[in-house]
Amino acid sequence: MDEDADHGTRKEGTAAAVDDARSIADQRREAGWEATVVPAVDTSPVPADAEQGYSGFVHVVPESLADEVAAACERAAFPRYDAYRRSVGGDLFFVVELLDPETETALLVAGTYRAADAVPLYRQASREGVVETHLTRLNGESLGSIEHDAIEKLFPDGMETIAGRK
């Protein structure tokens, strides 16, 4: 695939993920929840050996939503989550639905990452049995972090093969 076609596919996949997040958010709102769609500016799978001092999926939140996301993270613990994903080539397009039933708050983070870039994080998460979601501003300021113990929801099917584990 040439570079322009690859960019077009990524753009279409990202737009579809945001549309999916909006649809899920609408369903949550109809059920009385407060739901915020967060189209990630960037998503990076960061392993523990990175210089940032943390590991997990780091989602850069658009500045226009940063205060709203920070407020949601202050009032909600997000003990539940789900992830909806589709792979196209080596790209993974996803929506992570962070849920706090007690406060009826939902954050729906939409983004993309390359499966090959997640191999070190997948290996770490497989060993530890947990993976974290980090929401940050563009300048790196943390808006909130959530730990997940069901790691398979955040990685593509066949990740074991990509990581050389099968």
Q: Which two tokens stand for residue 25?
A: 């958010």
8 A C-beta contact, residue 50 and residue 56? no
Q: What letter does residue 62 receive in the DSSP assignment?
A: P
- State the CB neighbour count (10 A cutoff) for residue 120: 16
Task: Give mean pLDDT, residues 33-48.
Answer: 96
Instruction: Count how many residues are written for the chain.
Output: 166
Q: Where are the alpha helices (DSSP H) in the chain?
A: 3-30, 63-75, 119-128, 159-162
Q: What's residue 11's pLDDT?
A: 81
* Predicted confidence (pLDDT) at residue 4 exceeds the cutoff of 50: no
| Residue written as token pair 């730990």 | 147
Position 121 confidence tier, pLDDT thresholds 50, 70, 90: very high
Q: What's residue 60's pLDDT?
A: 98
User: What's the domain count of the chain?
Assistant: 1
Coil, helix or strand for 79? coil
Domain that holds residue 45: 3-162
**Model pTM score:** 0.89
Q: Which two tokens stand for residue 124?
A: 């770490």
The widest CA-to-CA distance across the chain, in whole angstroms, is 48
